[in-house]
């Protein structure tokens, strides 16, 4: 049977949201869907209206135009909807556009809609793509729901049950199984899937998966070889270019890393995180012109979206301060305060960065006054500062004679990163240059020893069966070292051990999950996080 002879599907029980700023196109799509029996159709003419509709309803399918006039475009709407979980596991998202350029198609594809349709859209094309994706989502929805609930072992069991039946989605499921295995810390199971796929044919996703696995194991040269095969074979497989850049950077090849990111951005320039990655690598290379442009683009792309982050603002301000362009640095920090005005932490960081800006522009009196105002909060919230901000403040604080705040910032930084030799060496250098070399050496030694002693004591208490005492100790330590991944994972381990002995407790489940997720954000490739998440699931399930 030819595709144009296929019978119309029955969408009478399906709900749709059409996101389209052109009224005529909304009517066309409504009429096409109506011919398949659809009656439940909502409309949104802008990105803002679409998100408001998605907050109220969970649709079976969303047809979203890529260009929506002023405000958010379709790609940004999809990104925000995913981040805020405004779609159901079974929701099909079709991106629609008249654009045929590779830049726009690749940019849209990076947000991973379920399909991409180019206008003009025929009835047959729309029905075929919708039905295909709905059939697929029906199979994958229970697995997706388990993943959303962080129940990765359950999701793997569902994958295996589905694979035991005849299904046209075999490789989609196996690919998902490998991803789930990595998330749960079972690298061997993921490796089996990747090797099986590569033995059949050179699938880019399997080769990229193997590269990520090797990267996680620290086998960077082997990971690099897989990534080179993927990127040389496909310029458009952009995830692989990101991983190639990350691997080259880890190997010390900053030139190669920058080239990989620039190549990916030439295909799809509208990804804020990639622009910021380019800024970071270029800044490390001393290519401040490229770094400045990349950070600016990243800021613009993420503005007014859930992807907005303080890091590119701070990094760009840092470049301007290094150049002596304090006026430009002040503008960027002003944008940070305005763009993230609802984020109290971002507003605080913006005020903190005014200290070096004022000092570098000759306003020592104003800088000193601001420091006097902020110093108590800085000492209390030292653990909330990104490491580079602590280093940004070191010189100004020392010039202004505030050794107490300086010591508090670096004691917190070293406690949270006690195993980072680079940070320790930078602290030693800063204190030595300020004529406080002995103080710096003592700070590094005392802070590192204290962090290790706390964790060792927690382990010792747990081995002695004093779980309550061990948990109390680590809870107190977590308040002082909330950014220490090893401490967080040790804390999660003790919480899980407590439940294994005394039964599941929902409050402890949530506490353990928060520890694991925070550790994973701080150290994304930490295998132990996945292992503990699987262990947590075994004690009675994970809920959020």
- According to DSSP, residue 3 is labeled G
Tokens 């909304």: give the residue. 26
**Contact residues for 190 (Cβ-Cβ < 8 A; gap 6+):** 178, 179, 181, 182, 209, 213
520: tokens are: 């994973």
**Per-residue pLDDT at 3:** 47
Phi/psi of residue 61, nearest 5 degrees:
-150, 145
Give the number of other CB atoms < 10 A from CB of residue 100.
9
Residues of the chain with pLDDT under 70: 1-6, 99-111, 233, 540-544
Domain boundaries, the chain: 3-148, 454-538
- By the 8 A CB rule, do 240 and 231 touch? yes
Cα-trace Rg, the chain: 26
pLDDT at 98: 79
Residue among 232, 247, 234 nearest 277 (CA): 247
Q: How many Cβ atoms are within 10 Å of 502's Cβ, its own excluded?
A: 11
Is the omega angle on the peptide bond into residue 156 within 30 degrees of 0, that is, cis?
no
- Rounded Cα distance between 253 and 220, Å, is 12
Fold of the 454-538 domain: 1.25.40
Cα separation of 348 and 381, whole Å?
10
Residue 101: what pLDDT?
54
Question: pTM of this prediction?
Answer: 0.88
Q: How far is Cα 92 from Cα 116, in angstroms, rounded to an integer?
A: 11
- The two tokens of residue 93 are 């998202």
For the segment 267-306, what is each residue's pLDDT rounded down to a tens digit?
A: 888 889 999 999 999 999 999 999 999 999 999 989 878 8
pLDDT at position 150 is 87
Burial pattern 37-63, b for ≥16 Cβ within 10 A else e, equals ebeebbbbbbbebbbebbeeeebbbbb
Complete DSSP assignment for 111-155: T--SEEEESSPPHHHHHHHHHHHHHHHHHHHHHHHHHHTT-HHHH
Count how many residues are written for the chain: 544
Return the pLDDT at 544: 45
Alpha carbons within 13 A on the beta-carbon side of 164: 6
To which H or E segment does residue 334 belong? helix 326-339
Q: Which fold has domain 3-148?
A: Rossmann fold (3.40.50)
pLDDT number for residue 106: 54
Report pLDDT for 109.
56
**CB neighbour list of residue 186: distance below 8 Å, 6 or more residues apart:** 530, 531, 534
**Are 114 and 92 within 8 A, CB to CB?**
yes
CB distance 294 to 259 below 8 Å: no
Whose CA is closest to 408, among 371, 447, 438? 447
Q: Return mean pLDDT, the chain.
A: 91
Cβ(412)–Cβ(386) below 8 Å: no
- As a dihedral over the C-alpha atoms of residue 79, residue 82, residue 83, residue 89, rounded to 10 degrees, the angle is -170
Q: What are phi and psi of 17, to 5 degrees?
A: -120, 125
Residues forming a β-bridge with 19: 44, 64
In order of 273, 328, 336, the CA distances from 321 in angstroms are: 23, 8, 16
**Which of 436, 368, 433, 440 shows the shortest CA–CA distance to 400?**
368
């Amino acid at each position: 049977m030819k595709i144009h002879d296929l019978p119309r599907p029955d969408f009478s029980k399906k709900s749709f949201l059409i996101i389209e700023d052109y009224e005529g196109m909304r009517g066309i799509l409504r009429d096409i869907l109506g011919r398949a029996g659809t009656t439940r159709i909502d409309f949104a003419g802008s990105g803002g209206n679409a998100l408001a509709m998605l907050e109220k309803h969970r649709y079976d399918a969303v047809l979203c135009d890529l260009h929506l006039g002023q405000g958010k475009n379709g790609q940004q709407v999809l990104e925000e909807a995913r981040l805020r979980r405004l779609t159901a596991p079974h929701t099909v998202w079709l991106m629609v556009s008249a654009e045929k350029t590779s830049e726009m198609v690749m940019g849209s594809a990076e947000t991973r809609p379920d399909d991409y349709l180019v206008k003009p859209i025929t009835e047959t094309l729309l029905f075929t793509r919708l039905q295909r994706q709905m059939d697929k989502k029906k199979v994958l929805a229970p697995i997706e729901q388990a993943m959303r609930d962080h129940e990765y072992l359950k999701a793997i069991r569902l994958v295996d049950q589905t694979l035991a039946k005849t299904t046209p989605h075999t490789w989609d499921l196996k690919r998902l199984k490998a991803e789930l295995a990595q998330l749960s810390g079972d690298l061997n199971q993921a490796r089996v899937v990747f090797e099986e796929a590569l033995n059949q044919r050179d699938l880019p996703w399997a080769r990229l998966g193997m590269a990520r696995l090797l990267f996680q194991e620290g086998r960077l040269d082997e990971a690099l070889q897989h990534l080179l095969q993927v990127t040389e074979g496909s310029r458009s497989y952009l995830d692989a270019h990101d991983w190639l850049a990350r691997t080259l950077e880890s190997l010390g090849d900053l030139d190669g890393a920058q080239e990989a990111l620039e190549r990916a951005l030439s295909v799809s320039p509208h990804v804020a995180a990639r622009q910021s990655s380019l800024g970071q690598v270029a800044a490390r290379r001393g290519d401040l012109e490229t770094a400045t442009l990349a950070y600016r683009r990243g800021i613009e792309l993420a503005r007014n979206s859930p992807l907005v982050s303080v890091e590119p603002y701070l990094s760009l301000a840092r470049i301007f301060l290094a150049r002596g362009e304090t006026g430009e640095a002040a503008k960027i920090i002003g944008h940070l305060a305005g763009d993230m005005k609802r984020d109290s932490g971002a507003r605080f960081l913006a005020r903190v960065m005014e200290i070096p800006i004022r000092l570098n522009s000759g306003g020592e009196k104003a800088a000193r006054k601001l420091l006097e105002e902020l110093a108590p909060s800085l000492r209390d919230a030292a653990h909330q500062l990104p490491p580079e901000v602590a280093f940004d403040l070191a010189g100004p604080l020392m010039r202004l004679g505030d050794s107490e705040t300086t010591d508090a910032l670096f004691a917190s930084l070293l406690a949270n990163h006690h195993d980072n030799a680079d940070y320790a060496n930078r602290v030693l250098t800063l204190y030595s240059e300020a004529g406080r070399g002995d103080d710096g050496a003592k700070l590094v030694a005392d802070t590192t020893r204290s962090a290790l002693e706390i964790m060792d004591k927690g382990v010792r208490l747990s081995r002695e069966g004093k779980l309550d005492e061990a948990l109390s100790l680590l809870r107190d330590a977590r308040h002082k070292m909330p950014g220490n991944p090893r401490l967080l994972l040790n804390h999660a381990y003790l919480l899980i051990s407590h439940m294994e002995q005394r039964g599941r407790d929902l409050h402890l489940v949530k506490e353990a999950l928060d520890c694991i997720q925070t550790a994973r954000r701080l150290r994304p490739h930490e295998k132990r996080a996945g292992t503990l998440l699987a262990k947590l699931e075994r004690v009675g399930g994970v809920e959020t």
